Amino acid sequence: MTRVTAAVIERDGKVLIAKRATEDQLKGKWEFPGGKIEAGEGPRDCLKRELSEELGIEAEIGDFICSSRYAYRHIEVELLAYRAAHLSGDIQPYVHDEIKWVALNELLDYEFPEANGPIIKKLFADAACKKP
């Protein structure tokens, strides 16, 4: 099983999502930025590295959100999601076809890989708990 990370980066009530590149196995689907954990690397270190490589930013990795497992035809993954704060650098889609800031309630308008489903559900649940 391949372990991967994902960052939930929020700004002004919106969440950053990225569209997978056209040459990718899951091309055209949207995701929370992140990537594969390398040998000897912890999830938070992986996420810091991936955000630098994929988006050109420095980020602070925050609280763990949740994990999910999914077996695609080409790979089985365990996805570990964390909150992350954008510290510096201009966000650029170096490996994605597109990036967008979207409101939480708009996430369901985008097609995500199946492993991202539990993250989205957890974000909605957390938001519902914060309402007065």
For residue 57, pLDDT beyond 80 = yes
**What global pTM score does this model have?**
0.93
Structural contact between residues 25 and 110, judged by C-beta atoms closer than 8 angstroms: no
Distance CA 34, CA 66 (A): 14
For the chain, the first-to-last Cα distance in angstroms comes to: 41
Which pLDDT does position 128 carry in this prediction?
A: 83
The number of domains in the chain is 1
Which pLDDT does position 130 carry in this prediction?
A: 67
What's the domain range around 19?
Answer: 2-130
Q: What sign does the dihedral 46-49-52-57 (CA atoms) show?
A: positive
What lies within 8 Å, CB to CB, of 96 at 6+ separation is 18, 19, 20, 21, 33, 54
User: Which one, of 34, 44, 51, 40, lies nearest residue 92 by Cα?
Assistant: 51
**98-131 per-position pLDDT tens digit:** 999 999 999 999 999 999 999 999 999 998 876 5
Give me the CATH number covering residue 121. Answer: 3.90.79.10
